[in-house]
């Protein structure tokens, strides 16, 4: 069974490749626009291409049985049509529900008539790097909504469940809502990073406009959307699911563990 991983140089796609190999896959093809950056494991076949460059896809799709589809909105309809034409039987997509911008990916995959599995992921633990510069500079961390709460998920867990689905049967037609194992406030997450660093971090609530200005250098026009989205989680915290453990047999990574594993991002 040949498995194709698209977006294989990206953070999650690259991890999917590793988890497939660790899970015993012997016929993995990685679609990458810059394969020289990825250091793929020995035995992984490299297809030089890009989901936004459709001319590169027919050759990459040839002979593929199952595919991990990275979330690229602009060309998703054409990508799925090419996958169907190539004879790909099952697409595992990283997308989102109707409340997200990524729902068109799921809709396109479902409309193809191919077997599909949707992975709906919440906020990544990796988004905590938004606080990195503040944490490096001070023990006082400013945030617009310290009481907003969700269940952040590590990118590696998303890759792990994607690989598990690609390597086994019984997942067609399923939508998996992915979260970390616990609901935490933003203040909780900052304190976990402080614990990993051996520092006592204080969280100070900052006004909306100031928060947007702070985030604009890294997030551009999405800063306002992000700050306002956080606000909704004060009264409506995200609840954790057990999907990662249920499908993979191993629990999702706690935020505290993620912080310990990635503590150098905050030094």
- Write out the H or E segment, with its range, that includes residue 69: strand 66-69
In the chain, the domains with their CATH numbers are 3-121 (3.40.50.720), 125-152+182-238+253-266 (3.90.25.10)
Residue 133, pLDDT score: 95
Instruction: Kindly list the distances between the CA atom of residue 87 and the CA atoms of 7, 59, 84, in Å, as whole numbers in the listed order.
Output: 20, 12, 5
Q: What is the predicted pLDDT for the residue at 62?
A: 98
Residue 168 is predicted with a pLDDT of 97
Q: How many residues does the chain have?
A: 267
Whole-number pLDDT of residue 36: 85
Q: How many beta carbons lie within 10 A of that of residue 218, not counting itself? A: 12
Across the chain, mean pLDDT equals 96
Q: What does the pLDDT read at residue 222? A: 86
Sorted by sequence, the CB contacts under 8 Å of residue 71 that are 6+ apart come out as 93, 94, 95, 96, 102, 105
What is the SS3 assignment for 17?
helix
pLDDT, position 37: 84
Question: What is residue 153's three-state secondary structure?
Answer: strand
**Which residue bears the tokens 């494991």?**
41
Distance, in Å, from the CA atom of 238 to the CA atom of 175, rounded to the nearest integer, reads: 17
Three-state secondary structure call for residue 91: strand
Rounded average pLDDT over 18-38:
94
The helix (run of H) or strand (run of E) holding residue 187 is helix 186-197
Question: If DSSP codes are grouped into helix, strand and coil, which group holds residue 175?
Answer: strand
Tens-digit pLDDT profile for residues 174-230: 999 999 999 999 999 999 999 999 999 999 999 999 999 988 988 898 899 889 989
| Residue 242: pLDDT over 90 | yes
Mean pLDDT check: name the lowest of 34-38, 42-46, 73-77, 258-262: 34-38
Percent of the chain with pLDDT over 70: 100
Please give the average per-residue pLDDT across 36-61, as a whole number. 94
51-102 pLDDT tens trace: 999 999 999 999 999 999 999 999 999 999 999 999 999 999 999 998 888 9
pLDDT digit string, tens, across residues 110-135: 999 999 999 999 999 999 999 999 99
């Amino acid at each position: 069974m040949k498995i194709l991983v698209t977006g294989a140089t990206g953070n999650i796609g690259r991890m999917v490749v590793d988890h497939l190999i660790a899970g015993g896959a012997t016929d993995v093809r990685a679609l990458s626009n810059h394969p020289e950056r990825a250091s793929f494991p020995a035995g992984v076949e490299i297809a030089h291409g890009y989901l936004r460059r459709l001319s590169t896809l027919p050759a990459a799709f040839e002979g593929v049985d199952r595919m991990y589809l990275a979330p690229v909105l602009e060309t998703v309809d054409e990508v799925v049509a090419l996958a169907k034409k190539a004879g790909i039987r099952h697409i595992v997509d990283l997308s989102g529900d109707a409340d997200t911008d990524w729902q068109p990916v799921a809709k396109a995959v479902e409309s193809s008539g191919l077997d599909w599995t949707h992975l709906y992921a919440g906020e990544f633990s990796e988004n905590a790097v938004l606080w990195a510069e503040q944490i490096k500079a001070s023990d006082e961390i400013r945030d617009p909504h310290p009481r907003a709460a969700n269940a952040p998920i590590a990118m590696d867990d998303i890759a792990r469940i994607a690989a598990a689905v690609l390597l086994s049967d019984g997942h067609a037609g399923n939508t998996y809502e992915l979260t970390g194992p616990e609901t935490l406030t933003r203040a909780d997450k900052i304190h976990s990073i402080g614990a990993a660093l051996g520092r006592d971090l204080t969280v100070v609530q900052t006004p909306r406009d100031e928060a947007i200005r702070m985030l604009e250098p890294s997030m551009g026009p999405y800063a306002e959307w992000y700050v306002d989205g956080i606000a909704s989680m004060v009264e409506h915290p995200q609840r954790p699911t057990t999907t990662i453990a249920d499908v993979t047999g191993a629990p999702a990574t706690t935020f505290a563990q993620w912080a310990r594993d990635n503590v150098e991002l905050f030094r």
